[in-house]
């Protein structure tokens, strides 16, 4: 029963994030508020932009796309602070314009833009791991 509520919550989150519409592709899901084994992973969508930074020691657990928009959930044993440093550094190194950032001890969020691509990243604790949420969209979608 918990898993079905998690699925409903995830669908609602996607609908709110993308506006109403059908989710075209779901590559994997993980139950909320549980430790996710790091050895099992799903693949990033083929259309995932190669210039969007992906934390090296993270496991992809959710990858969904709708048109030119994608949501990816990564789980890592890195701290929120270390993951935030990675994204700040990699966005700048990759030529991204970091437009907004917010940092607390429990949450990091940033929005970065490069050309027509926008990437929102949110990093928080999830059980004993760190969850990195990437929301990627193309201008006009």
User: Residue 78 belongs to a domain with what CATH number?
Assistant: 3.30.310
pLDDT digits (tens, 9 = 90+) for 98-130: 988 999 989 999 999 999 999 999 999 999 999
To which residue do tokens 């949501």 refer?
71
* pLDDT value for 138: 87
pLDDT digits (tens, 9 = 90+) for 27-67: 444 333 334 444 578 888 888 999 999 998 899 999 998 88
* pLDDT value for 45: 84
Taking CA 76 as the corner, what is the angle to CA 73 and CA 79, rounded to the nearest 5 degrees?
115
pLDDT digits (tens, 9 = 90+) for 58-73: 999 999 988 889 999 9
CB atoms inside a 10 Å sphere around CB 111:
18
* pLDDT value for 140: 63
Of residues 95 and 4, more confidence is placed in 95
Domain region containing 133: 2-138
Q: How many structural domains is the chain composed of?
A: 1
| Predicted model pTM | 0.72
């Amino acid at each position: 029963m918990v898993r079905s509520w998690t699925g409903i919550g995830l669908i609602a989150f996607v609908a709110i994030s993308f506006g109403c519409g059908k989710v075209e592709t779901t590559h994997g899901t993980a139950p909320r508020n549980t430790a996710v084994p790091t050895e099992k992973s799903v693949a990033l969508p083929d259309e995932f932009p190669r210039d969007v930074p992906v934390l090296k020691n993270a496991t992809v657990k959710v990858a969904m796309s709708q048109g030119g928009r994608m949501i990816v959930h990564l789980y890592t044993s890195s701290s929120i602070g270390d993951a935030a440093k990675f994204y700040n550094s990699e966005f700048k190194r990759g030529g991204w314009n970091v437009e907004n950032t917010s940092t607390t001890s429990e949450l990091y969020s940033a929005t970065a833009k490069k050309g027509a691509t926008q990437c929102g990243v949110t990093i928080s604790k999830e059980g004993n791991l760190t969850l990195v949420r990437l929301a990627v969209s193309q201008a006009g979608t």
